[in-house]
Structure 1
Amino acid sequence: MSDVSLLCRQPVYLRPDPARVIVRPFRPATEPRDFTPIDKARANHIVDRVLTLDAETAASQLADVMDNFKQRHRNLPAVIEARAEEMEDAFAAHAVFSPMQRLLVGAYFLNEYSFEASALFNPSIVLDPDQSGAPEGGSSFILSLRAVGEGHISSLTFRQGSIAADGCVTVEPAARLASLPKVQDRIATPHGDQVEVSFEADCVISERVIFPVTASQSNGIEDARFVAFEEDGETIFYATYTAYDGRAIRSELIRTTDFISFGMVPLTGAAARNKGMALFPRKIGGKYAMIGRQDNENLYLIYSDDLYAWDDGKAILKPEFPWEFVQIGNCGSPIELDEGWLLLTHGVGPIRKYSIGAVLLDKHDPSRILARLREPLIRPDPLRSEGYVPNVVYTCGGMRHGDQIILPYAVSDTFCHIATIDIAALVQSMQSEEAPFRISEPAL
C-alpha cells in the first residue's frame, strides 16, 4: 500500500516562540520557585527600598514599567494590583501604601516567563464547541499543546484551526499576547487541591495558557489528552494529564465545556500513580473506561464507576514488535470507528526511539484486540531526529473527521506537525497479514 493512499502530511508546522510571555509571581527566597514560601524578611527589605523613593522617582519608575511592559500583557495594571493583594501578609509590617507605591511594589514581585521558549509539542485535538466559524462542509477544532520554558516547566496552551471539505487543514496564528486564567476557587482535599480557573471571555483561544497552580503541578502540566466525552446528551471535554512537582508524578483530570472555564481535579487510586491515562469518549457497559500504563511496559484497560477514582486494570497489550520492545503506551483517547476503537500507541525501541503505532479494539469489549500494525504508522526520520528530545514522534490524540483521522503530532519534542489518515486504508493495513508499510517523518 502506498504512503499517499494512507497518510497525507499537511503544510502545517507549529513551532515554539520565545517572544510569547506570561507574567507570573516572583517569590524572593534562597531558591525562588513557584510554591516556595516567600522569604518575608527579604520581601520586606525590597519594600523598604521602594518606600525610600520620593514621589517623583517612584512615579518615574512606575511609568518606566508601564512603558516597557504594558504592550506585552493584557491589562497589566490589574495584574500588578492583584499581585500586590496576594502579598498583603508579607507587607503587614508596613504602613498603608499610596496607590502608586502599591503598584510599584507589586511590580517588584512579578517576572516575565517565556512559556514556550524551549518546546511546543505533544498535541491533542477535539472539535471546537463553537462551530459558527467552521468552513462549509468542514469543521473547526481546538488543539491543546504542551509548552516548555526555562527550567523545563510545562504548561498547557491552545490553538484554533479548521479542516475544509477537501481535507485541507489550517491552524490560525497564535495571538500576540498570552494570558493566565484567574483562580476562582481552590478546595484542599486529602489528595491535593481541586482548582477552578477561568479566562476573560474576550481572551482568544490561542492567548490562553494554563500554568501550574498547585504544588503537585509545580514543575509541569504535561501531555494533556483531551477528549469530547458524551453523556446524557451533553458534551464535556475532559483531559487526563500528568502533574509533576519535580520529584513525583500523578494523573489529574481537567474539565471544560467552553475552553474558557476549567476545573482541575486530582485522580485517586492505584492507576492514577502512573502517567499516560486516556479516557474513552463514552461509557462502556455503564462504566467509565481508561487506557493506561501501570507497569511501565504494557497497556491496561481500566473500568470505574467513579470518574475520579481508578484502581488496577487488566493488561491487554504488551510489546510485541522490535520497535516497541522497551515499552508501549497510548497516544490519546481511543477513537470510535465503525470497525471498533482505534487506539493510537507509542512504542519505544533501540536508542529510545519513539514511534507511533495503531491498534483496533473491539467496540463492545475493548480488551479484545482485533488488529494491530506490525510496523509504526509514523517513525522518526534519521535525517531529522535532533531536537529538545531526539528520536521522538509522539501525539496525545487524534480526531475523526468523516472518513479521515486528523493527527497532530510532535517531532523530537520540539515542534508539531499535522497529518490526515485515510481510515479505510489504515484499517485494511492493520488487518493485512502481508508485509507492513513503513512511513517515516520526512526531513524538513
Structure 2
Amino acid sequence: MSTTSAASRIPYRLVRKGMIMSPLPGEANEAEGVLNPASGRTPNGRLHLLPRLVAKGNVSRVGLAEVTFTDGVPSGVERRGVVLAPDEGWERGKRNAGVEDPRVTWIPSLGKHVMSYVAYGPLGPKPALAVSEDLTEWTRLGPIHFAYQPDLDTDLNLFPNKDVVHFPEPVPGPDGEPAYAMLHRPMWDLGWFRPGEGVHLPAGITDERPGIWISYVPVAEVETDIRALARPRAHRLVALSAHPWEELKIGAGPAPIRVPEGWLLIHHGVSGHIEDPFAQNQKVSYAAGAMILDPADPAKVLARSEEPLMAPETEEERTGTVPNVVFPTAIEEIDGQRYVFYGMADAQIGVALLERTA
C-alpha cells in the first residue's frame, strides 16, 4: 500500500441531480427500501439500474429498472422486475436471507456483465459472483473463494467481505502479467460468529478498521474457465481510513473508470459510532470520496480526496432506514458526461453529475 494524499490532485466533484427511484407503494419487494444500485446497458443500448430491493424483514433482491431521462439527465425509472433473488441455500439462513448491494461491471474482453453481490446466508455476509450478457438472465459463479496466501497468516474466507467490484479491463498483476482484478473489503472481527473471538488481523496489518483490498485472477485462467473469476489470489491492501469523515471504515463504490490521471475510484467513508457491524446502524454517516489508482499497479494510491466529494445534506440523504447515508455504487457515461448513482439513507436512489474541475 502506497498513498499520496492531496485533495488538489483529485480534479473531480459531484453535483446532485436529484432522486430518481423510491419505493413503490404497495410493492412488497420494496417495503423497506430501494437502494445501492448497480448499472449497465442491455444489448439494445438502453441504460438500466439494478437496484437492491428490500422486502419486509430486510430480505433483499436485485431488480432491473430502465432509466428514463428529462432533458438528457436521468430522472426516473421504469421497473422491469426481479433478476436475482436469494434462491440458493447459501444465500439464506433460518432467520435471514438476501442478495444485497450488487455492483455490475461490463468487461468487453469477456463480453459479459460481471455482478458481485453480498449473499446474506447462514454465516452472515459473503461475496459472490454472477455473469450475464443481457442484464436479465444471470448465471451464478458461486461464492468467492479467496486463495490461501501464506504470508498473510490467515484465511480470507473466514471473514465477512463486502464492496466487491471489478475493473472493466485487465490490469497488470503483481507478477506483471495481465489479470482481472477485484476490489473488496474484508472485516476482521469474528465476534459476530463466535462471541468473544474478536479481531484476527492478517500478518503485517496493525489497523483493524476495514479497508480496501485488491485480488487478481490471471487472464489466461478466466479465458479457459469463466468460473476462475470466483477464485482470486495475490491479495494486497490498497487503502485504509485516512481522514475524519472516513474514520471508521472505507469501501469501494462503482467500478473504477479510466481517466487521464489513472483509475478513478469513487469510494465511501464512514464516521460516527458502530455498535453492531451487521445491524442497521443509526449513529453513522456515510460520505463519498475518491482515489486515483496507479494504472501500472492498481494497488498503489496516487492521490486521494481529503474532504468528501459528497456528504449527506438533503432530506432524502438524512432521513431513511439508516439516516445520513450517501452510498455510491454505479457510474455511467451519458452523452459524454458521467453520472454517479447512489443510495440515499438506505431507502431511495439518487444521481449526481461527475464533473471535472481542472
Q: What range describes the TM-score normalised by the shorter chain of this pair?
A: 0.7 to 0.9
Q: Does residue 20 of structure 2 align to residue 9 of structure 1?
A: no
Give the match's secondary structure for 2:162: coil
The match for 1:169 is 74
Q: Does the CA contact (< 8 Å) of 1:18 and 1:118 recur in 2?
A: no
Give the match's secondary structure for 1:19: coil
Alignment of 1:331-410 (within 5 A): 331-350=253-272, 351-381=283-313, 385-401=318-334, 403-410=336-343
The match for 2:30 is 116
Q: CA separation in 2, counterparts of 1:243 and 1:130?
A: 30
Amino acid at match of 2:345: S
Displacement after TM superposition at 1:380 (Å): 1.0
Displacement after TM superposition at 1:404 (Å): 2.7
Q: Which runs of 5+ in 2 are unaligned?
A: 1-7, 147-154, 173-177, 188-208, 219-227, 273-282
Displacement after TM superposition at 1:419 (Å): 1.4
The match for 2:112 is 236
Displacement after TM superposition at 1:401 (Å): 4.0
The match for 1:84 is none
Match for residue 82 of structure 2 among 208, 211, 232: 208
Q: Does the CA contact (< 8 Å) of 1:271 and 1:312 recur in 2?
A: no
Seen in structure 2, the aligned counterparts of structure 1 residues 288 and 168 have a Cα distance that, compared at 3 Å, is: same
Give the match's secondary structure for 2:90: helix
Q: Does residue 67 of structure 2 align to residue 150 of structure 1?
A: no
Displacement after TM superposition at 1:297 (Å): 1.7
Q: CA separation in 2, counterparts of 1:405 and 1:281?
A: 16
Seen in structure 2, the aligned counterparts of structure 1 residues 368 and 400 have a Cα distance that, compared at 3 Å, is: farther
The match for 1:128 is 42
Match for residue 315 of structure 1 among 230, 234, 237: 237
The match for 1:187 is none
Alignment of 1:214-233 (within 5 A): 214-218=88-92, 219-231=97-109
Q: Give percent identity, aligned residues only.
A: 26
Seen in structure 2, the aligned counterparts of structure 1 residues 291 and 271 have a Cα distance that, compared at 3 Å, is: farther
Q: Does residue 180 of structure 2 align to residue 275 of structure 1?
A: no
The match for 1:62 is none
Seen in structure 2, the aligned counterparts of structure 1 residues 323 and 7 have a Cα distance that, compared at 3 Å, is: closer
* 1:299-344 C-alpha deviation (Å, 9 max, x unpaired): 1121123311024611121111000111111112211223211111
Displacement after TM superposition at 1:163 (Å): 6.0
Give the match's secondary structure for 1:278: strand
Q: Does residue 124 of structure 2 align to residue 248 of structure 1?
A: yes
Give the match's secondary structure for 2:291: strand
* 1:377-419 C-alpha deviation (Å, 9 max, x unpaired): 1111276512111121112221234653211111110001111
Q: CA separation in 1, counterparts of 2:257 and 2:170?
A: 13
Amino acid at match of 1:321: H
Q: CA separation in 2, counterparts of 1:287 and 1:380?
A: 36
Give the match's secondary structure for 1:293: strand
* 1:22-81 C-alpha deviation (Å, 9 max, x unpaired): xxxxxxxxxxxxxxxxxxxxxxxxxxxxxxxxxxxxxxxxxxxxxxxxxxxxxxxxxxxx
Seen in structure 2, the aligned counterparts of structure 1 residues 362 and 413 have a Cα distance that, compared at 3 Å, is: same
Q: Does the CA contact (< 8 Å) of 1:18 and 1:115 recur in 2?
A: no
* 1:97-147 C-alpha deviation (Å, 9 max, x unpaired): xxxxxxxxxxxxxxxxx111110000122233312xxxxxxxx31111001
The match for 1:260 is 136
Seen in structure 2, the aligned counterparts of structure 1 residues 125 and 259 have a Cα distance that, compared at 3 Å, is: closer
TM-score normalized by the length of structure 1: 0.60
Q: Does the CA contact (< 8 Å) of 1:271 and 1:313 recur in 2?
A: no
| Larger deviation, residues 389-398 vs 114-123 | 389-398
Amino acid at match of 1:300: W
Amino acid at match of 1:16: P
Q: CA separation in 2, counterparts of 1:170 and 1:389?
A: 23
Amino acid at match of 2:107: F
Q: Does residue 171 of structure 2 align to residue 284 of structure 1?
A: yes
Q: Does residue 65 of structure 2 align to residue 159 of structure 1?
A: yes
Match for residue 350 of structure 2 among 417, 438, 443: 417
Q: CA separation in 1, counterparts of 2:156 and 2:23?
A: 32
Displacement after TM superposition at 1:7 (Å): 3.6
Q: Does the CA contact (< 8 Å) of 1:335 and 1:400 recur in 2?
A: no
Displacement after TM superposition at 1:162 (Å): 5.3
* 1:271-300 C-alpha deviation (Å, 9 max, x unpaired): 565122111111113111011112452211
Q: Does the CA contact (< 8 Å) of 1:279 and 1:289 recur in 2?
A: yes
Seen in structure 2, the aligned counterparts of structure 1 residues 6 and 297 have a Cα distance that, compared at 3 Å, is: closer
| Larger deviation, residues 218-227 vs 302-311 | 302-311
Amino acid at match of 1:354: Y
Aligned residues between the structures: 287
Amino acid at match of 1:342: L
Cα RMSD after superposing both structures: 2.3
Displacement after TM superposition at 1:157 (Å): 0.3
Displacement after TM superposition at 1:170 (Å): 3.7
Q: CA separation in 1, counterparts of 2:50 and 2:99?
A: 12
* 1:78-97 C-alpha deviation (Å, 9 max, x unpaired): xxxxxxxxxxxxxxxxxxxx
Q: Does the CA contact (< 8 Å) of 2:40 and 2:135 recur in 1?
A: no
Q: Does the CA contact (< 8 Å) of 2:68 and 2:78 recur in 1?
A: no
